[in-house]
Amino acid sequence: MFRQLTPVVRALILANVIVFALQWLTGGQGLLIDFALWPWRGHQLYGTPPFEPWQLITYAFLHGGFWHIFGNMFALFIFGPDVEALVGPRRFTLYYFVCVIGAALTQLFVMHAIYPGPYPTIGASGGIFGVLLFYGLAFPHRRLLLLFPPIPMPAWLFVTLYGVLELALGVFGTSQGVAHFAHLGGMATGYLLIRYWRARNRHLY
């Protein structure tokens, strides 16, 4: 089954698994200090490691535990290949990392203006939520079966409900430790890029 994955999805899953193994083998602190996404002014305000430009991408290869990486890679495994097959490897790569960066910038703004604190952001969820959005737009009527509760629904409804849930959780501050606004930032950035592509090519999907 793994051999049937599209090339970029396969490479992303492998890269994330390798980095997660390095985190486990090294204790993860050194990788977090250098490559997690730290707040813009966290170094001055809280004594945290400084923000560095490369963190806008590298944070997306770090994860906080087995279930964190499993959930992200499982979603990429399920939704990523169809999106990559539709737009091609080069455009999928660009789309994924634009969503990752958009999620990071959103999270930096939120950490600075709304929820300041000395906490880093890690995880591929920003890119995954962008892929999820693309899937819902490109294949709106495909039926998806939730694991809990086991209710089938079309992809467009699944994506819409997920986005509304993330917004509610972010606004009301529930599920502490989860970067809900980063997820929304990944979706919003992905949507803007899709709109740009569709303006140039109406047959994008």
Q: How far apart are CA 81 and CA 53, in angstroms?
A: 29
Task: Read off φ and ψ for residue 145, nearest 5 degrees.
Answer: -110, 115
For the chain, give every domain's residue range.
2-200
CA distance 56 to 39: 11
Among 79-88, 119-128, 168-177, 178-187, the minimum mean pLDDT is found in 168-177
C-beta of residue 180 within 8 angstroms of C-beta of residue 187 = no
- Tens-place pLDDT, residues 111-143: 887 776 778 999 999 999 999 999 999 999 998
CATH number for 2-200: choose from 3.90.1720.10, 3.40.50.300, 1.10.3210.10, 1.20.1540.10. Answer: 1.20.1540.10
pTM listed for this prediction: 0.90
The C-alpha R_g of the chain, in whole angstroms, comes to 17
Nearest of 109, 112, 140, 126 to residue 189 by alpha carbon: 126
Written as one letter, the residue type at 94 is L
- Averaged pLDDT of the chain: 87
The predicted-structure confidence for 56-76, as pLDDT tens digits, reads as follows 999 999 999 998 999 899 999
